[in-house]
Amino acid sequence: MQNGRIITDAIEKANTFNSYYSTVFSNEGNILHIQGENAGDPFTTDIKTIRRRIKVIGKNKSVGPDQVSGEILQLGGEAMIAYLARLLDVTMNNGTLPGYWKRATVIPIHKGGDRSLVTNYRPVSLTSVVCKQMEHVIASYLRQVWDKNGWLYEGQHGFRPGYSSESQVITVCQDNLRTLWIMETRLMLL
């Protein structure tokens, strides 16, 4: 609904969603460059990570603007892995992204409430399946660099394999109990 009238034209609906989403979207293009022990070394893709990622792509994964489906990647099998590795290596070492990786098809999903109000929809971005797999490869690489350089605080539990919010809670409880024990011991000595 716009200005009290229901919109029926598909293009006008799309423009209304676009107008609303652009008012609530934040585009902070800050890029952080971190240099460590690996600075200057070319990025090399771990083939095993790509192989693992391709195996877990869902059959019903929606395609992005590049129209490459997860099913195509899986059907390509081992032959596809070398090409994906080369594509990621070139992308990372040149500091560029293919144009379709920067695009998304935005689908409005109804959150609840009055279906005629644009504010009752949330945007879901369908992006390149290939790019999403490459993001996982990069994340795996970053975790290895962080571990190798000791950049993560030992108390960091989020986004780390073998750690969870439960392990964080257990650590905090143990620290609290240790502190209480020390305090009680000191009070007894007084």
What is the DSSP code string of 6-64? ----HHHHHHHHHHHHHHH------------TTTTSPP---HHHHHHHHHT--TTPPP-
Q: What is the pLDDT of residue 31?
A: 46
pLDDT value of residue 1: 61
Q: Amino acid identity of 6?
A: I
The model carries a pTM of 0.63
What pLDDT score does 159 carry?
73
Both tokens of 138, joined, read 């990069």
pLDDT at 68: 87
Q: Given this model, what pLDDT does residue 32 score? A: 44
User: What is the residue-level pLDDT of the chain in tens, covering all 190 positions?
Assistant: 666 778 888 888 888 888 877 777 666 554 444 444 445 677 788 788 888 888 888 777 788 888 888 888 888 888 888 888 888 888 888 888 888 888 888 889 999 999 888 889 988 888 898 888 888 888 888 888 888 888 887 777 777 777 888 888 888 899 999 999 999 998 888 7
Position 34 scores a pLDDT of 43
Give the pLDDT confidence score for residue 180 in this predicted structure.
92
Q: What is the SS3 assignment for 5?
A: strand
